[in-house]
C-alpha cells in the first residue's frame, strides 16, 4: 500500500457523503497487497473480529532503531479498508511511537467512529490492541545491534 495516513485524512476531508467515504474505505482495502497464504496463520489472526483478519508484524533496524511494519488482510471489503487505514496509521514507527498513537483521535477526526457498527468498532479495537502488544514485545526483546 502506498497511501500514507496524511493522504488518507485529506481524502476523507474531501468526501462529504458517507456512501463516498465507505467506497473510499473499500478502495483503501483493495490497495493492500494480498497477504500470502503462508502468513494467514493462527499466530497472525486477530481475535475479536467478526470477519477473518490477519496482521503480520515485521521488525527492522533503521539507523539503530526498531521500526515496525505491518501487513494485513481480511475476507470482508470494508474490514479490509479498516485494516488498510489502521496499518497506514501504525506502520513505519518505533514501538514507543506506536504505543503513543491514539487511533480514536484519527477515527473521530475523519468521522469514522460515528459510522462504524459496534461489531466493527470491536474488531478495530482488537486489531489496535494486537499492534500495540506487538510493539511492546518488540520494545522488550533483545536490542538490535548494528553490524560493525
The SS3 of residue 69 is: strand
- Supply the pLDDT for residue 2: 58
What is the pLDDT, as a whole number, of residue 142?
A: 59
- For the chain, what is the total number of helices (H) and then of strands (E)? 6, 2
| Domain ranges (residues) in the chain | 5-140
Residue 99, pLDDT score: 94
Read off the C-alpha cell for 117: 457498527
Which CATH number applies to 5-140: 3.40.190.10, 3.90.1010.10, 3.20.20.70, 3.40.50.11540? Answer: 3.90.1010.10
Q: What is the pLDDT of residue 148?
A: 36
What is each CA distance from 113 to 2, 13, 24, 62, 124, in whole angstroms?
24, 15, 16, 34, 10
* pLDDT tops 50 at residue 1: yes
Instruction: Quickly state the pLDDT bin for 143 (edges 50, 70, 90).
Output: low
Q: Can you give the pLDDT at residue 141? A: 74
Cβ atoms < 10 Å from Cβ of 130: 22
* Per-residue pLDDT tens digits for 63-108: 889 999 999 999 999 999 999 999 999 999 999 999 999 998 888 8
| Active-site residue list | 49
Name the pairing type of β-strands 53-62 and 65-74. antiparallel
**b/e per residue, 73-87, with b = 16+ CB within 10 A?**
bbebebbbbbbbbbb
Amino acid at each position: 500500500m502506498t497511501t500514507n495516513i496524511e493522504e488518507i485524512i485529506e481524502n476523507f476531508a474531501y468526501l462529504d457523503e458517507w456512501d463516498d467515504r465507505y467506497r473510499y474505505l473499500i478502495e483503501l482495502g483493495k490497495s493492500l497487497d494480498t497477504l500470502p497464504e503462508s502468513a494467514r496463520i493462527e499466530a497472525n489472526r486477530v481475535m475479536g473480529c467478526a470477519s477473518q483478519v490477519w496482521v503480520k508484524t515485521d521488525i527492522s533496524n533503521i539507523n539503530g532503531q526498531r521500526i515496525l511494519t505491518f501487513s494485513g488482510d481480511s475476507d470482508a471489503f470494508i474490514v479490509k479498508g479498516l485494516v488498510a487505514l489502521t496499518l497506514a496509521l501504525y506502520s513505519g514507527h518505533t514501538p514507543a511511537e506506536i504505543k503513543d498513537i491514539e487511533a480514536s483521535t484519527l477515527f473521530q477526526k475523519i468521522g469514522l467512529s460515528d459510522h462504524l457498527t459496534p461489531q466493527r468498532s470491536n474488531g478495530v479495537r482488537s486489531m489496535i490492541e494486537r499492534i500495540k502488544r506487538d510493539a511492546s514485545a518488540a520494545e522488550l526483546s533483545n536490542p538490535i545491534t548494528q553490524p560493525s
